[in-house]
Structures are given as structure tokens and as C-alpha cells.
Structure 1
């Protein structure tokens, strides 16, 4: 049987267990030193006549095992179940979305970023058989979601996209294109496309050479421009006021169509200026439909059996036992609830 942890990152929490054991050991040493300070063995014996060190240690052991079980439950141990024999035909599409503060400009209502999210969601809805991934960028690029057929998860990541996700400001289109390309199968020279959504405000001289290289490796690059050539001021979300330059003037952000058009041409794709999200989504998906599709088996259709609830149940039972184990010696009328 093949086992895996669905959220393996939570296993890092197991590092807390040795720390808890160490602190417990320090507590025992402190108790011994405290008893030594009292000095009189007969007095110490009288004070502790109803106390059971073994039961105290047992309560700690139960708690530590319960903590370990909770951490393992969070990681969700799974066993590979029956794999459904499902094949799909589609392409791999990486959405590369600009989330710099210039995308908060309101020359498109409600603002450029929200309109971009609307577009991406409409594209996702039209791509039932395709794998979709998401890269967010501003002054740096981040792989927000690798390629997946879980379109509901895709929409969730898109909804949470914003300037706070990438605090470094700027427009590093070249870096974003490279990161998107890293998500593709490097052995394939087709079935791949990037949809770049940006206002293209800051010129990135490295972007065009990168686009040409990706096109030579079989990646189609389609671009969508958001904003207006006339531009609009940027609202700073921290102050809810317009962003100012050093002279105190409003910073105006303008759509750089020329760069986005060049990238689309170099990437053997199309450029669309976003006005109506539905129409733009139709044009982009129509262009994506020109890419030859492949038939593949998708691992996302494997039925994994989860065991997290067993560990949660174990933790609950152990904690209940810990509550009812008294630190008093057997026969004492005083319980641990005092």
C-alpha cells in the first residue's frame, strides 16, 4: 500500500514534541531541587504522601502522544486508493497576473485588478479539460499555484490575489514568464501556453528575449492589456489616497500596449485589450483552442483514502484519559480536578 501525507508541511510541527519533552525534564529537575531546598526528608515525605510520580508521568505521556496525533492528523495521512481510468484532452495554461499597485488604478471599474480577476475566472470556466496554473508578479514573481485540473482551487487563488501577496513593487515580466515556464513539462514542445495579464507599465528589457526563447520551446504567449493609454492615478490602499511623487503630484499609471503587443507577437499568440471580460475570455480561449491537444491520464483523479480522523479520535481519547488520571495515589479521595 502506498501512503503519503497530503499536507506534509504540517509534519514540521513534530519538532515541538522534543521541545515539550525537554521542558518536562526541566520541570522534574526543578521539583527535585525544590524538595532538596526543603531539607527535612520526613517533612517532604509527609507533604507528598498522596502524590504519585508515576501517574504524573503517565499524564504527561498521554498528552505528548495526543499532541503528536493532532500534528499527524493535520498532515492527513492518506493511502492511494482505486485510480479512476480517466483520460482528458487539453493543454497546459499558466496564468501570469500582474498584482502591482498600479493594478489598483480605477480607469477600469471597479479597478484593473478586480477586472483582471473577472477575466481569469471566465477563462477558467471555459477550460474544462485543461490544466491551469497561476503566477503572480510585481517586483518579484511567485508561483501561486502549479498546474492543476482543480478549477475550484484555481478560482480561490485568483480571488486572494493582490498587492499584499507580492510586497516588492515593480513589473518583472521576464522573471514571471520564466517561472511560468518552469511549471511546464520541459520535454514537450507543444500543448503549452502562457496568458500574461498586465498593464505593462514598467518596461522590462529582458521580457522580449525571454518570450522569443519560450516560443522556440513550444510555448504560446498571449497577452492581455489592462488599463487605458491616458492612464489614471493610483490609490494607495494603506492611506486610501492617491499615490504622490517626490514633487507631490499624483502618480499616473498608463497602459503600455506596445510592450504587450510585442510579447504576444514574439510568443506566436494574440494581444487583447481588456474592456469586456466575456469577450476577451472568448478570444483568448479561441486562440488557446488552436493549440494541439493531448490525451493524458491525470493523477488528480486518484481516489486517496484519508486517515486523519483516526488520529483525531486517538487524540480525543488520550486527552479524556489524561483528564481522569489523578496525580494522587490510589485510595485518595481527592481527584485531579481540584
Structure 2
């Protein structure tokens, strides 16, 4: 048997001192007062004697200290194998992603879909970037999804300082983040931008073994772009309408990824997670060692609670008639 927190056992050394102090105080009271006054001061009745009760409380404290020290029986180590998926998620944060042809806008819908995706990718390490004409890192590869959600939740118009959508930049960042991985993948939430031809991006992705997954958000009808100053207009004052660019589909198909159009269904992210896993199934398996332990702390803890309750229940109660007589 071993103790995980043996330093708590040092507290046992103070219990004899508490016994000496507790019994000494009782003897001092008896010496300082007459027997008649001492008997009136000390409650009488059934239950354990004062010294016995103090001893029970100290023994209860001893068992509580042993429980805090977490006694365990070591049974060896267990090898746990776990398949991991490394995925970079790129958010298009160009101004077109704030169009209102989907509710509440394209960018906010992308964030909600990303949160749904994390629920189905609990075996993955996820990194997040934002991009428009340039890219920046939001979160490095991590399994701390709570922190990732917080960072993504607070992405907004404040991050948009550049115009345009350069689909090449998320590929470069993905290569930098996953250059040691044998399988590389990037999921891009985007409306496709304005580019009609992606041969440069396809060549780069193939050369570096990057599979590109596209989740396209937008409609053919298009929507109005909004900014802090209101509706976006062109140089002659006309309202700018931005539409989904279907040409970006070839970027996913030619790199071994998946192209998926946005949906209001909550099940599409589960399908996307399964598609990502199926295309990255060769991701290397990592092994970790876990210690097999049998916890024993609850045994001394139960004894400590039982002794404490026994000591508390044995507190003497003054006789009601005697107390009434003393008041007279």
C-alpha cells in the first residue's frame, strides 16, 4: 500500500499534543473551582466521559488524515493506445463573411458549426487560424477545446483589417503547424472568395500532402455585406452583393478532401467529422501509460465519519428539572 499524498500524515504528530492540551484544561478547571461550582459548570448526563469523547474525536481526526493521504494499492501500468487526428480549422474573416444571406451571418454560422464539430472530434488536436488576404494564428494545436471555444467565440469584426480572400494563406499556415505530421488536413469555413481558379493552391496542397476540407457558407442569391459603418457600398454608391463561389469546390476534390455546402441541420457536422476521420485513418497511433490503482481512502473516511458522529451523539445533556431548579 502507498500514499499519494504522504505529507498529510505529518499532521498525526499534532494529535498527541491536542490530547495533552485538552485533558490539561479539564484538570485546571477542577483545581480552580470548588466541587459544587464545578459540578454546576460541567454538564451532566448520559454519554461518554469527557476524556473518552476527546479520544474518540482525535481518533476520528487520525482516520480523516489517513483518508486525505489517499492510500492506494498499485496494480501496475496499463498501455492505452489512442488514434489522434491533427486538424487545422481556418475561418475566412473577410468582409464578405459578414453577409446576411444566412442567419445571423455567414461568420457567426461558421462559429456555431465549428462548436458542433468539436463535439464529434473529441479524439483530435485542433488548431485555429483566421485569414483574409493574410492569416494569423488564433489557437495552436490543442485538445483544450474549452479554450479554443472561448477564443473563437470572441473573434469578430475587430479582427477584420484586410480585404479579400486568399485561399493560399491557410495552406501555408497548415504546413507550418503540421510539418511533422504524416497526415495533414485543413478545414476551411468560407464563402469561396472571388477567385475562379485554384491551380496554385491545389499544386501546393498536393506537394505537401494537405487534404483540404471546405465548408461553404453562402447562397447563390447572395447577401449584403455589413460593417461597423453600415452597409458596404462600391465606389459609385451601389450596395455590394456577395455570393457563394462554387468554384472553390475543386480545391477540396482535387486534394482528397470533402466539399460540403452549409446546412441548418445539426447532423452535418457529424458527417463531416466522420469524413475527416476516414481520410486521415492512417494517422499514427500514440501510446500512453496509465497507472492501475485501487483507491482505499473511503475506508478510513467512513471510520472517521462514524467516530465523529458517535462523539457528537454522546454529548451530555443537562437534566431539564435540575436546570429549572437552578434557575429558581
The answer to whether TM tops 0.5 is yes
For the 8 Å contact 1:140–1:169, the answer to whether it is kept is no
Q: Any idea what the Cα deviations from partners look like across 1:292-313, whole Å, max 9, x if unmatched?
A: 1322268xxxxxxxxxxxxxxx
Query: Is 2:226 the counterpart of 1:235?
Result: yes
Q: Secondary structure at the match of 2:174?
A: helix
CA distance in 2, matches of 1:297, 1:169: 44
Change in 2 beyond 3 A, CA 1:149/1:204: farther
Q: 1:229–1:130: structure 2 CA closer, same or farther, 3 Å change rule? A: same
Other-structure match for 1:116: 110
Q: How much does 1:196 deviate?
A: 0.9
- How many aligned positions are there? 209
Structure-1 separation of matches of 2:242 and 2:122:
35
Runs of 4+ in 1 over 6 A off after TM superposition: none
Q: Is the 8 A contact 1:221 1:267 kept in 2?
A: yes
Partner Cα separation in structure 1 for residue 146 and residue 100 of structure 2: 28
Residue of structure 2 equivalent to 1:295: 285
Report whether the alignment pairs 1:95 with 2:89: yes
Q: CA deviation at 1:188?
A: 3.7
The answer to whether the 8 Å contact 2:167/2:201 transfers is no
**Pairwise CA distance, 1:175:** 1.2
Q: Which has the higher contact order (CA 8 A, sep 6+)?
A: 2
- The unaligned stretches of length 5 or more in structure 2 are 1-77, 289-328
Distance 1:141 1:204, change over 3 A: farther
- Secondary structure, aligned partner of 1:246: coil
For 1:203, the equivalent position in structure 2 comes to 195
Please name the residue that 1:245 is paired with: 234
1:271 is the counterpart of 2:265? no
CA contact (8 A) 1:104 1:112 kept: yes
C-alpha separation in 2, matches of 1:98 and 1:86: 37
Give the secondary structure class of the aligned counterpart of 1:96.
Answer: strand
Aligned to 1:189: 182
Tell me the equivalent position of 2:270. 282
Please state if 1:169 is matched with 2:157.
no
- Contact conserved, 1:136 with 1:166, CA < 8 A, in 2? no
Distance 2:203 2:270 in 1: 25
Q: 1:93 Cα deviation (Å)? A: 0.5
Q: CA deviation at 1:218?
A: 2.8
What is the RMSD computed on CA atoms of the aligned residues? 2.1
Tell me, yes or no, if the aligned pair for 2:133 and 2:169 is still in contact at 8 Å.
Answer: no
In 1: Cα distance, 2:161 partner to 2:89 partner: 19
Residue 217, structure 1, aligned to residue 205, structure 2: no
* Secondary structure of 2:267's aligned partner: helix
Structure 1 gap segments, 5+ residues each: 1-83, 299-338
Alpha-carbon distance in 2 for matches of 1:98, 1:231: 17
CA-to-aligned-CA distance 1:145-177 (integer Å, 9 cap, x gap): 111111111111211122322411111110122
Matched residues in 1 for 2:111 and 2:234: separation? Answer: 28
CA distance, structure 2, for counterparts of residue 200 and residue 89 of structure 1:
32
Distance 1:242 1:179, change over 3 A: same
Query: 1:177–1:211: 8 Å Cα contact kept in structure 2?
Result: no
Q: 8 Å contact 2:175–2:208 — kept in the other structure?
A: no
Q: 1:52 maps to what in 2?
A: none
Q: Distance in 2 between matches of 1:102 and 1:144?
A: 20
Q: Is the contact between residue 95 and residue 160 of structure 2 (CA under 8 Å) also seen in structure 1?
A: no
Cα deviations across residues 253-305 of structure 1 (Å, max 9, x unaligned)? 110012x201101211111111225233122111112121322268xxxxxxx
